[in-house]
Amino acid sequence: MRLPVWRRNQDRELDEEIASHIRLAIADRVERGETAEEASHAARLEFGNVVIVKEVTREMWGWIALEHLAKDVRYACRALRKAPGFAAVAVATFALGIGANTAMFSVINAVMLRPLPFPEPKRLVSVTEVDQRRGDAGSSSVAWPNFFEWRSRSKAFEQMSAYHERAFTMVVGGRPVHTPGAIVSADLFATLGVQPVLGRGFRSEEERAGSDVVVISDGLWRSEFGAAASAVGSVTTINSRPFTIVGVMPGGFRFPFGVPAAQMWVTCAEDARTDEPGDTPMTAERGAHFISVVGRLRRGTTLPAAQVDLDAVAAALAREYPDDNGNRGVKLTPQLESLVGDTRRPLVVLLAAVGCVLLIACVNLANLLLVRGAVRGKEIALRVALGASRRRIVTQLLTECVVLSAFGTAAGLLLASWSIRFVVQVSPANLRGLDEVTIDRFVLAFTAAVGFASALAFGTLPAWLESRAEPRAGLDESGRATAGRRHGRMRATLVVSEMALGVVLLIGAGLLLRSFHRLAHSDPGFDGSHVVTAKFTLPDNRYPYRKQIAFYDELLADLNALPGVQASAASPLPLSGLRYSISFQLPGAKVPASEQPSAAFGMVGPGYFRALQIPIVAGRDFTAADDDAATRVVVVNESFAHRYLAGRDPIGQRIKPGLSTTEKETPWREVVGVVRDVRHLALNEPARPTYFVPYAQGLISSLFIVIRSATPTTVVVDQVRRAVLRKDPELALYDARTMDEYLTLSVAPARFQTMLLTLFAALALVLTAVGLYGVVAYGVAQRTREFGIRLALGARPREVLHLVLRNAMRLAGAGIAAGIVAAAFATRLLGSALYEIRPLDPLTFAAVAATLVAVALAASFVPAHRATRVDPIQALRTD
Partner 1 sequence: MPVPRYRTRIELLQGTLDLLILQTLQWGPRHGYGISQAIRTVSADVLQVDTGSLYPALHRLERQKWIRAEWTVSGRNQRTRVYELTAAGRKQLLAERSRWEQVSAAIGSILAHPGAVE
Contact residues toward partner 1 (CB under 8 A) are 13-14, 16-18, 20-21, 23-25, 27-28, 38, 42, 47-49, 52-53, 56-57, 59-62
Q: Name the burial class of residue 814, with classes exposed (0-12), middle (13-18) and buried (19+) by CB atoms within 10 angstroms of its CB.
A: middle
Q: How far is the CB of 24 from partner 1 (least distance, A)?
A: 4
SS3 (DSSP) at 254: coil
- Spatial contact of 597 and 583, defined as CB atoms under 8 Å apart: yes
Q: Which is nearer to partner 1, 49 or 152 (CB)?
A: 49
Cis status of the peptide bond prior to 572, with omega within 30 of 0: yes
Q: How far is the CB of 5 from partner 1 (least distance, A)?
A: 19
- The C-alpha atoms of residue 434 and residue 348 are separated, in whole angstroms, by 16
Q: How far is the CB of 25 from partner 1 (least distance, A)?
A: 6
Q: Which is nearer to partner 1, 27 or 630 (CB)?
A: 27
Q: Which is nearer to partner 1, 5 or 45 (CB)?
A: 45
Q: How far is the CB of 65 from partner 1 (least distance, A)?
A: 12
Nearest to 196 by CA among 204, 188, 184: 188
Q: How far is the CB of 8 from partner 1 (least distance, A)?
A: 16
- The C-alpha atoms of residue 800 and residue 798 are separated, in whole angstroms, by 5
- The C-alpha atoms of residue 626 and residue 175 are separated, in whole angstroms, by 36
Q: Which is nearer to partner 1, 10 or 223 (CB)?
A: 10
- Say which DSSP state 831 is in: G
Q: Which is nearer to partner 1, 56 or 646 (CB)?
A: 56
- Spatial contact of 326 and 594, defined as CB atoms under 8 Å apart: yes
Which phi and psi angles does 476 have, rounded to 5°?
-50, 160
Q: Which is nearer to partner 1, 47 or 418 (CB)?
A: 47
SS3 (DSSP) at 441: helix
Q: Name the burial class of residue 454, with classes exposed (0-12), middle (13-18) and buried (19+) by CB atoms within 10 angstroms of its CB.
A: buried
Q: How far is the CB of 29 from partner 1 (least distance, A)?
A: 10
Element housing 571 (H / E)? strand 565-571
Q: How far is the CB of 15 from partner 1 (least distance, A)?
A: 11
- Spatial contact of 367 and 493, defined as CB atoms under 8 Å apart: no
Element housing 178 (H / E)? strand 175-184
Q: How far is the CB of 387 from partner 1 (least distance, A)?
A: 16
Q: Which is nearer to partner 1, 35 or 714 (CB)?
A: 35
Query: Which residues touch 797 (CB under 8 Å, ≥6 apart)?
Result: 791, 868, 869
Degrees to nearest 5, angle at CA 522 with 737 and 753? 75
Q: Which is nearer to partner 1, 61 or 464 (CB)?
A: 61
Helix axes 748-782, 842-868, angle to 10 degrees: 30
Degrees to nearest 5, angle at CA 70 with 64 and 72? 105
- The C-alpha atoms of residue 180 and residue 165 are separated, in whole angstroms, by 8
Q: Are strands 633-637 and 669-675 parallel, antiparallel or unpaired?
A: parallel
Q: How far is the CB of 385 from partner 1 (least distance, A)?
A: 23
Query: Which residues touch 541 (CB under 8 Å, ≥6 apart)?
Result: 239, 240, 241
Query: Which residues touch 642 (CB under 8 Å, ≥6 apart)?
Result: 689
Bridge partners, residue 669, by sequence: 655
Q: Which is nearer to partner 1, 23 or 648 (CB)?
A: 23
Q: Name the burial class of residue 370, with classes exposed (0-12), middle (13-18) and buried (19+) by CB atoms within 10 angstroms of its CB.
A: buried
- Spatial contact of 694 and 632, defined as CB atoms under 8 Å apart: no
Q: How far is the CB of 377 from partner 1 (least distance, A)?
A: 33
Q: How far is the CB of 396 from partner 1 (least distance, A)?
A: 24
Q: Which is nearer to partner 1, 39 or 511 (CB)?
A: 39
SS3 (DSSP) at 660: coil
Q: Name the burial class of residue 195, with classes exposed (0-12), middle (13-18) and buried (19+) by CB atoms within 10 angstroms of its CB.
A: middle
Q: Which is nearer to partner 1, 389 or 581 (CB)?
A: 389
Q: How far is the CB of 49 from partner 1 (least distance, A)?
A: 8
Q: Which is nearer to partner 1, 4 or 48 (CB)?
A: 48
Q: Which is nearer to partner 1, 48 or 300 (CB)?
A: 48
Q: How far is the CB of 36 from partner 1 (least distance, A)?
A: 15
Q: How far is the CB of 92 from partner 1 (least distance, A)?
A: 43
Q: Which is nearer to partner 1, 61 or 86 (CB)?
A: 61
Q: Which is nearer to partner 1, 18 or 461 (CB)?
A: 18
Q: Which is nearer to partner 1, 65 or 589 (CB)?
A: 65
Q: How far is the CB of 73 from partner 1 (least distance, A)?
A: 24
Q: How far is the CB of 464 from partner 1 (least distance, A)?
A: 28
Query: Which residues touch 246 (CB under 8 Å, ≥6 apart)?
Result: 196, 199, 200, 201, 202, 213, 214, 215, 232, 233
